[in-house]
Amino acid sequence: MSLGEKIKENRIRKGLTQSQLADETLITLRTIQRIEKDEVKPSLHSLKELSRALEADFSETNSKPKEKPYEFNLNFKITDMNQFITDLKTLVKNHWKVLAIIIIAIWLVTSYTEIKAGIIDGWNGE
């Protein structure tokens, strides 16, 4: 049983409507609807408020199974990468001046000590 189903089951068991639960927890009605349909995972704050209002412990259902710390998945769809590259090209094409200013500003900040030393050396005629 999913977390959303457990929350819905406990809400019905307590005889509360979604609107009443929203009023009691100060969580929006739409958020409660989305949590119960498992469209979103509740934040820690929302989970605590729901646990308090429904007098139930949902902490076990929210915990993730242990994974190896070095293990991760990186899945890309070629269409997603193509869209990313297209968006990046559009960004550079439309905002190249701003990007150039940002790059120059970063270069100036990171090279400040060398630039300052060069100016002082040139001023002193060295």
Span between the terminal Cα atoms of the chain, in Å = 77
| CA pair distance 48, 59, nearest whole angstrom | 9
* Distance separating alpha carbons of residues 85 and 116, to the nearest angstrom: 38
pLDDT at 61: 46
- On the question of pLDDT at 36 being above 80, the answer is yes
Q: Spell out where 2-126 has E strands.
A: none
**Structural domains of the chain ordered from first start:** 3-62 (1.10.260.40), 78-123 (no CATH)
Tens digits of residue pLDDT in 74-87: 666 667 778 888 88
- pLDDT tens across 2-12, in order? 899 999 999 99
The overall pTM is greater than 0.85: no
